[in-house]
Protein backbone atom coordinates (compact mmCIF):
# COMPACT_ATOMS: atom_id res chain seq x y z
CA UNK A 1 0.00 0.00 0.00
CA UNK A 2 1.27 3.45 -0.90
CA UNK A 3 0.41 5.85 1.91
CA UNK A 4 0.55 9.33 0.47
CA UNK A 5 0.18 12.53 2.47
CA UNK A 6 -0.57 15.90 0.92
CA UNK A 7 -0.35 19.64 1.53
CA UNK A 8 1.27 20.36 4.93
CA UNK A 9 -0.86 23.24 6.18
CA UNK A 10 0.08 22.35 9.77
CA UNK A 11 3.72 22.45 10.81
CA UNK A 12 2.91 20.32 13.83
CA UNK A 13 1.12 17.64 11.81
CA UNK A 14 4.04 17.41 9.36
CA UNK A 15 6.40 17.04 12.32
CA UNK A 16 4.26 14.31 13.87
CA UNK A 17 3.89 12.40 10.59
CA UNK A 18 7.65 12.58 10.16
CA UNK A 19 8.30 11.37 13.70
CA UNK A 20 5.79 8.58 13.14
CA UNK A 21 7.65 7.49 10.00
CA UNK A 22 10.96 7.60 11.83
CA UNK A 23 9.63 5.59 14.79
CA UNK A 24 7.66 2.99 12.83
CA UNK A 25 9.65 2.60 9.62
CA UNK A 26 6.48 3.33 7.63
CA UNK A 27 7.28 4.31 4.06
CA UNK A 28 5.44 7.46 2.98
CA UNK A 29 5.17 9.79 0.03
CA UNK A 30 4.53 13.45 0.81
CA UNK A 31 2.97 15.49 -1.96
CA UNK A 32 3.93 18.83 -0.56
CA UNK A 33 3.16 22.48 -1.25
CA UNK A 34 6.32 24.47 -0.68
CA UNK A 35 4.29 27.57 0.12
CA UNK A 36 3.58 26.07 3.56
CA UNK A 37 6.31 26.89 6.10
CA UNK A 38 6.11 23.38 7.49
CA UNK A 39 8.38 21.97 4.77
CA UNK A 40 11.23 24.35 5.52
CA UNK A 41 10.68 24.28 9.31
CA UNK A 42 10.65 20.47 9.45
CA UNK A 43 13.47 19.94 6.97
CA UNK A 44 16.05 18.99 9.64
CA UNK A 45 13.76 16.25 10.97
CA UNK A 46 12.63 15.04 7.57
CA UNK A 47 15.87 15.27 5.61
CA UNK A 48 17.46 12.00 6.83
CA UNK A 49 14.30 10.05 5.94
CA UNK A 50 14.17 11.60 2.48
CA UNK A 51 17.85 10.94 1.88
CA UNK A 52 17.53 7.30 2.94
CA UNK A 53 14.61 6.87 0.52
CA UNK A 54 12.12 5.90 3.21
CA UNK A 55 10.11 9.04 2.61
CA UNK A 56 9.58 10.27 -0.93
CA UNK A 57 8.65 13.80 -1.90
CA UNK A 58 6.25 14.46 -4.77
CA UNK A 59 5.16 17.70 -6.38
CA UNK A 60 1.73 19.04 -5.37
CA UNK A 61 2.40 22.53 -6.86
CA UNK A 62 3.80 25.49 -4.98
CA UNK A 63 0.54 26.99 -3.71
CA UNK A 64 -2.14 24.34 -4.19
CA UNK A 65 -3.50 25.95 -7.33
CA UNK A 66 -6.22 24.49 -9.52
CA UNK A 67 -3.96 23.99 -12.53
CA UNK A 68 -6.84 23.79 -15.00
CA UNK A 69 -7.65 27.45 -14.23
CA UNK A 70 -4.13 28.78 -14.83
CA UNK A 71 -2.41 29.98 -18.00
CA UNK A 72 0.21 27.75 -19.59
CA UNK A 73 2.94 29.80 -17.93
CA UNK A 74 1.10 29.63 -14.62
CA UNK A 75 0.92 25.83 -14.71
CA UNK A 76 4.62 25.49 -15.41
CA UNK A 77 5.53 28.08 -12.77
CA UNK A 78 3.50 26.32 -10.06
CA UNK A 79 5.22 23.01 -10.72
CA UNK A 80 8.69 24.36 -11.39
CA UNK A 81 8.79 26.60 -8.32
CA UNK A 82 7.84 23.67 -6.10
CA UNK A 83 10.29 21.40 -7.90
CA UNK A 84 13.10 23.88 -7.26
CA UNK A 85 12.11 24.25 -3.60
CA UNK A 86 12.20 20.47 -3.10
CA UNK A 87 15.54 20.18 -4.81
CA UNK A 88 17.09 23.11 -2.95
CA UNK A 89 15.76 22.06 0.47
CA UNK A 90 16.00 18.27 0.27
CA UNK A 91 18.46 17.57 -2.56
CA UNK A 92 16.08 15.25 -4.38
CA UNK A 93 14.38 15.26 -7.75
CA UNK A 94 10.61 14.88 -7.29
CA UNK A 95 9.98 13.95 -10.92
CA UNK A 96 8.07 12.28 -12.49
CA UNK A 97 5.24 12.31 -9.93
CA UNK A 98 2.93 15.25 -9.48
CA UNK A 99 -0.43 15.34 -7.80
CA UNK A 100 -2.75 17.95 -9.25
CA UNK A 101 -4.48 19.86 -6.42
CA UNK A 102 -8.09 18.71 -5.95
CA UNK A 103 -7.30 16.01 -8.50
CA UNK A 104 -8.06 18.55 -11.25
CA UNK A 105 -6.10 18.04 -14.43
CA UNK A 106 -6.73 17.80 -18.16
CA UNK A 107 -4.77 17.10 -21.34
CA UNK A 108 -3.32 20.61 -21.46
CA UNK A 109 -2.10 20.44 -17.85
CA UNK A 110 -0.66 16.97 -18.38
CA UNK A 111 1.21 18.07 -21.52
CA UNK A 112 2.65 21.14 -19.80
CA UNK A 113 3.70 19.10 -16.77
CA UNK A 114 5.27 16.43 -18.97
CA UNK A 115 7.22 19.17 -20.73
CA UNK A 116 9.20 19.74 -17.52
CA UNK A 117 9.49 16.08 -16.63
CA UNK A 118 6.34 15.58 -14.59
CA UNK A 119 4.98 12.77 -16.71
CA UNK A 120 2.90 11.03 -14.04
CA UNK A 121 -0.22 12.75 -12.66
CA UNK A 122 -0.68 10.70 -9.51
CA UNK A 123 -4.21 10.34 -8.17
CA UNK A 124 -5.41 7.85 -5.56
CA UNK A 125 -7.64 4.89 -4.83
CA UNK A 126 -8.85 5.47 -1.30
CA UNK A 127 -8.83 8.47 1.01
CA UNK A 128 -8.67 9.24 4.69
CA UNK A 129 -11.04 12.09 3.72
CA UNK A 130 -9.31 14.51 6.06
CA UNK A 131 -9.04 17.50 3.73
CA UNK A 132 -11.44 19.06 6.22
CA UNK A 133 -11.45 18.51 9.97
CA UNK A 134 -12.96 15.13 10.85
CA UNK A 135 -12.88 13.10 14.05
CA UNK A 136 -10.26 10.55 15.04
CA UNK A 137 -12.91 7.82 14.79
CA UNK A 138 -13.70 8.87 11.23
CA UNK A 139 -10.03 8.72 10.25
CA UNK A 140 -9.88 5.16 11.57
CA UNK A 141 -13.11 4.31 9.75
CA UNK A 142 -11.76 5.54 6.41
CA UNK A 143 -8.46 3.75 6.97
CA UNK A 144 -10.37 0.56 7.74
CA UNK A 145 -12.17 0.97 4.43
CA UNK A 146 -9.16 1.82 2.28
CA UNK A 147 -5.95 0.39 3.75
CA UNK A 148 -5.77 -2.48 1.26
CA UNK A 149 -3.13 -4.09 -0.94
CA UNK A 150 -2.15 -2.21 -4.12
CA UNK A 151 -4.04 0.91 -3.10
CA UNK A 152 -2.67 4.42 -3.24
CA UNK A 153 -4.29 6.09 -0.24
CA UNK A 154 -4.39 9.86 0.24
CA UNK A 155 -4.29 11.69 3.55
CA UNK A 156 -3.43 15.26 4.48
CA UNK A 157 -0.94 16.85 6.84
CA UNK A 158 -3.38 19.57 7.78
CA UNK A 159 -5.35 18.56 10.88
CA UNK A 160 -4.38 16.86 14.14
CA UNK A 161 -6.81 13.94 14.43
CA UNK A 162 -4.84 11.57 12.19
CA UNK A 163 -1.79 12.01 14.42
CA UNK A 164 -3.74 10.82 17.44
CA UNK A 165 -4.63 7.52 15.79
CA UNK A 166 -1.27 6.55 14.30
CA UNK A 167 -1.14 3.49 16.58
CA UNK A 168 -4.52 2.30 15.28
CA UNK A 169 -3.48 2.88 11.66
CA UNK A 170 -0.24 1.02 12.20
CA UNK A 171 -2.19 -1.85 13.76
CA UNK A 172 -4.36 -2.04 10.63
CA UNK A 173 -1.27 -2.26 8.44
CA UNK A 174 0.08 -5.07 10.62
CA UNK A 175 -3.18 -7.00 11.00
CA UNK A 176 -3.73 -6.99 7.25
CA UNK A 177 -0.18 -8.00 6.47
CA UNK A 178 0.31 -4.85 4.40
CA UNK A 179 3.69 -3.56 3.34
CA UNK A 180 3.96 0.20 3.01
CA UNK A 181 5.76 1.45 -0.08
CA UNK A 182 6.49 4.79 -1.63
CA UNK A 183 6.16 5.35 -5.36
CA UNK A 184 9.85 4.96 -6.15
CA UNK A 185 9.78 1.58 -4.43
CA UNK A 186 7.35 0.31 -7.04
CA UNK A 187 7.84 2.36 -10.20
CA UNK A 188 11.06 3.15 -11.98
CA UNK A 189 11.60 6.42 -13.81
CA UNK A 190 14.38 8.41 -15.41
CA UNK A 191 15.01 10.30 -12.15
CA UNK A 192 14.92 7.06 -10.12
CA UNK A 193 16.01 4.11 -12.27
Judged by CB under 5 A, the stretch of 3-11, 78-86, 112-120, 134-142 that binds Zn ion is: 3-11
H or E segment to which residue 156 belongs: strand 152-156
Out of 6, 78, 110, 130, name the contact with Zn ion by CB under 5 A. Answer: 6
Q: How far is CA 93 from CA 37, 67, 89, 191, in A?
A: 20, 21, 11, 7
78 touches Zn ion (CB under 5 A): no
Residues 95-114 that bind Zn ion (CB under 5 A): 101
130 touches Zn ion (CB under 5 A): no
Sequence-distant (≥ 6) Cβ neighbours of residue 32 within 8 angstroms: 6, 7, 8, 39, 57, 58, 59, 60, 82, 86
Q: How many residues bind Zn ion (CB under 5 A)?
A: 3
Q: Shortest gap between Cβ of 158 and Zn ion (angstroms)?
A: 8
Q: Shortest gap between Cβ of 182 and Zn ion (angstroms)?
A: 17
Out of 7, 78, 110, 130, name the contact with Zn ion by CB under 5 A. Answer: 7
Q: Shortest gap between Cβ of 39 and Zn ion (angstroms)?
A: 13
Overall residue count recorded for the chain in this entry: 193
Q: Shortest gap between Cβ of 167 and Zn ion (angstroms)?
A: 25
Q: Shortest gap between Cβ of 57 and Zn ion (angstroms)?
A: 14
User: What gap in Å lies between CA 148 and CA 103, rounded to an integer?
Assistant: 21
Q: Is 175 exposed, middle or buried (0-12, 13-18, 19+ CB in 10 A)?
A: exposed
**Closest residue to Zn ion, based on beta-carbon distance:** 6
- Binding residues (CB under 5 A) for Zn ion: these are 6-7, 101
Amino acid sequence: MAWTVDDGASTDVVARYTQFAADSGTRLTFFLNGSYDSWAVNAPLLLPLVQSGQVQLGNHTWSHADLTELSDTGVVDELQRNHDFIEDTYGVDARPFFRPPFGYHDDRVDDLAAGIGYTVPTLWYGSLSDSGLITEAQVVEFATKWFLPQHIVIGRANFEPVCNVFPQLLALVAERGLQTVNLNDVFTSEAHP
